[in-house]
Amino acid sequence: MTFYKIQFNAAKMSLSLLLLIFVPTLLSAQERLRVDYEIMEYMQLKANDDTVSAAIGTVGNGTLQHAKLMPYKGKNFIYFDRESYLAGRGFLHGSVRKSVLTTYDSLSRSLPHRYFNIMECSNEDGGEMFPHKTHQTGMSIDFMMPLLKDNKPYYGLDTIGAAHYMLNFDDDGKYSRDPSISIDFNLVARKILLLDYFARQNGLNIFKVIIKIELKDELFATEYGKILKASEIYVVQGLSPLINALHDDHFHIDLGFTYNKTPQAENTESIDRILTE
Ligand SMILES: [Zn+2]
């Protein structure tokens, strides 16, 4: 193990610890899947109004008005961490939320037995959401990588809550502790293409996809990956070592308004100051 690798792992570990401190995950996996009274009450409390959301500024320096809360659970998806949800980190711009929900609806019809996890979104009022440097306007979402084990859908790592950010995958997308578990790259590409397609119906499009650079080859080699590569969707070309190391268990998406000349999703922060996208 090189010095740099140790350093990245240490950074990743500290990020995860921070997340764990802020969003403690003490509940069992099964409890997390239950939409209990507290979650229902929270969803009711934060029931969406009809006012159009406003994303102000950039994903790295902005705010969000009239945010809409992602449902904790849908037919084929669930928010990944109960405490994170109740801490108010599952909000999105209304148009983004609509695009994500339509994407899941479409996936539930084409792949009725496949389940997905949505990870951190934004605060209700946007702004800084430690330790993320972006996610400030409701236009950024982290999506958990769908996994395969022996070529079958695998969900054994989906239920660990915030600690999921800490998982490590090698440069081929295989889980470091069990190489029989690997990222379903074809499904990642398919989901990105669908989200961009439905986002365009809401005046948005994907401005940026962040995924560990070493995983791009695997992503683009798949059936849907080839379509993604040929599309206009921007998949990052280069990342700081820390940001790169973090985007193996999940991929990050920034959306923006198609008509905007100044991209909402433009990230103006300097790389060293970023803890995580
Ligand atoms: Zn992110």
> CB within 8 A of 120, min separation 6: which ones?
81, 84, 89, 90, 129, 132, 135, 142
In this predicted structure, the answer to whether residue 21 has a pLDDT above a threshold of 90 is no
Confidence at residue 2, expressed as pLDDT on a 0 to 100 scale? 44
Confidence at residue 6, expressed as pLDDT on a 0 to 100 scale? 47
> How much distance in Å is there from the Cα of 134 to the middle of ligand 1?
7
Other CB atoms within a 10 A radius of the CB of residue 28 amount to: 10
Q: What is the pLDDT of residues 147-198, one digit of tens each?
A: 999 999 999 999 999 999 999 999 999 999 999 999 999 999 999 999 999 9
For residues 137 and 92, what is the distance between their CA atoms, to the nearest angstrom? 8
> How much distance in Å is there from the Cα of 10 to the middle of ligand 1?
19
Query: Which residues lie across from 76 on neighbouring strands?
Result: none
> How much distance in Å is there from the Cα of 206 to the middle of ligand 1?
14
> How much distance in Å is there from the Cα of 135 to the middle of ligand 1?
6
Domain ranges of the chain: 3-273
> CB within 8 A of 181, min separation 6: which ones?
147, 148, 149, 154, 156, 157, 174, 175
Task: Give the mean pLDDT of the chain.
Answer: 87
Q: Grade residue 97 by pLDDT with cuts at 50, 70 and 90.
A: very high
Amino acid residing at 229: K
Q: Grade residue 259 by pLDDT with cuts at 50, 70 and 90.
A: confident
Q: Grade residue 103 by pLDDT with cuts at 50, 70 and 90.
A: very high
Stretch (H or E) spanning 10: helix 3-22
Write down the residue that tokens 């904790």 correspond to.
Answer: 72
> How much distance in Å is there from the Cα of 100 to the middle of ligand 1?
15
pTM (2 decimals)? Answer: 0.84
Confidence at residue 4, expressed as pLDDT on a 0 to 100 scale? 45
Confidence at residue 261, expressed as pLDDT on a 0 to 100 scale? 54
Sheet with 178-183, strands from edge to edge, namely 152-154, 147-149, 178-183, 174-175
For residues 25 and 162, what is the distance between their CA atoms, to the nearest angstrom? 7
> How much distance in Å is there from the Cα of 121 to the middle of ligand 1?
8
176-191 exposure pattern, b = at least 16 Cβ within 10 A, e = fewer: eeeeebbbbbbbbbbb
Confidence at residue 272, expressed as pLDDT on a 0 to 100 scale? 34
> How much distance in Å is there from the Cα of 55 to the middle of ligand 1?
16
For residues 92 and 53, what is the distance between their CA atoms, to the nearest angstrom? 9
> How much distance in Å is there from the Cα of 103 to the middle of ligand 1?
19
In this predicted structure, the answer to whether residue 23 has a pLDDT above a threshold of 60 is no
Domain 3-273 indexed as CATH 3.30.70.20: no
Other CB atoms within a 10 A radius of the CB of residue 165 amount to: 26
Can you spell out the DSSP letters for 222-266?
SHHHHHHHHSS--B-S---HHHHHHTTSEEEEEEEETT-SS-TT-
> How much distance in Å is there from the Cα of 249 to the middle of ligand 1?
11
Q: What is the pLDDT of residues 206-225, one digit of tens each?
A: 999 999 999 999 999 999 99
Q: What is the pLDDT of residues 26-66, one digit of tens each?
A: 444 555 566 788 999 999 999 878 899 999 999 999 999 99
